[in-house]
Amino acid sequence: MALSDHRTKKALGQHFLHDPGIVSKIVQAVSPQPGDRLVEIGPGAGAITFPLLERHGSLTAIEFDRDLIEPLRAAAAGVGELEVVHADVLDVDLTALAGGGRIRLVGNLPYNLSSPILFHVLAHRAVVQDMHFMLQKEVVDRMGAAPGSKVYGRLSVMLQAVCAVAPLIRVPPGAFRPPPKVDSAVVRLVPRADAEIGIEDGRLFANVVRAAFGQRRKTLRNALMPICDADAIAAAGIDPGARAETVPVGGFVALANHLAASR
């Protein structure tokens, strides 16, 4: 079976990119350099795969749909060195895949699994140089939102704490086959160095952020009651009467670190 004959599977959330102008912008954004180790999550019919392969010469692709494995390998003949890993990316040890080096991730992520994939990748961020992901535009808006925005929330804080987030390209539904019911966008994520992140206890930080945004209408004094009291919040330089959506990322880091030190 040729890639062009593949019928997209709704159950897998498949929407294959086909707009050459958008593809060109993505390849330019990635701008692969000699020595880069490129890893694509969910190559689908290869719209991004083969332009990257032509430009860079080698690429590793992680694909869950078994019907795409051999067609991808066959289509790569004479284009470049394509390694196809047949797996669910959530089961892939990206640190082991990096082999002691660093990887650059690219992918048109299935929108129903975007958050789990993002957090899986972030767990391996020590070996990730950067990421260029296609996601639902609404998700990208949340990822890059500033404090005070209506869409600033848990995802914004958790990602911005460990990555520089840069929305790059807006993509309309018509750029895909079949077209999704939402707009999409490409975002660049660059992991921060541990020294820059400065989080003392990652699990505690995640718990604080989750509780703070668990009930957005509550003040931090009330939302964080199971974790800390108002005095602890004030000691971290935050108004206990504030709501979570007004607190910058650094404020949550300061609060979690204060709690970690006091314990």
Q: Which of 196, 211, 234 is the last residue of a domain?
A: 196
Do 100 and 59 lie in a common domain?
yes
* pLDDT at site 251: 97
Do 163 and 218 lie in a common domain?
no
CATH at residue 189: 3.40.50.150
Domain total for the chain? 2
Do 169 and 231 lie in a common domain?
no
* pLDDT at site 178: 82
Do 50 and 172 lie in a common domain?
yes
Q: Which of 181, 196, 211 is the last residue of a domain?
A: 196
Q: Please state the residue numbers annotated as binding site for S-adenosyl-L-methionine.
A: 15, 17, 42, 63, 88, 108
What is the value of pTM for the model shown?
0.90
CB atoms within 10 A of CB 237: 11
> Each residue's pLDDT tens digit in the chain (263 positions)?
445 455 554 554 557 788 999 999 999 999 999 999 999 999 988 999 999 999 999 999 999 888 899 999 999 998 999 999 999 999 999 999 999 999 999 999 888 888 899 999 999 999 999 999 999 999 999 999 999 999 999 999 999 999 999 999 999 999 998 888 899 999 999 999 988 999 999 999 999 999 999 988 899 999 999 999 999 999 999 999 999 999 999 999 999 999 999 87
Do 185 and 207 lie in a common domain?
no
156 is in which domain, residue-wise? 3-196
Tokens of 84: 């196809």
Do 11 and 74 lie in a common domain?
yes
Q: Which of 196, 221, 237 is the last residue of a domain?
A: 196
Do 191 and 247 lie in a common domain?
no
Do 213 and 190 lie in a common domain?
no
Q: Which of 214, 215, 211 is nearest to 226 (CA)?
A: 211
Q: Please state the residue numbers annotated as binding site.
A: 15, 17, 42, 63, 88, 108
Give CA–CA dist 59/37, Å, rounded.
7
Do 223 and 251 lie in a common domain?
yes
Which residues, including other chains, have CB under 8 Å from residue 96's CB and lie 6 or more apart? none
Tokens of 198: 């400065």
CATH at residue 232: 1.10.8.100
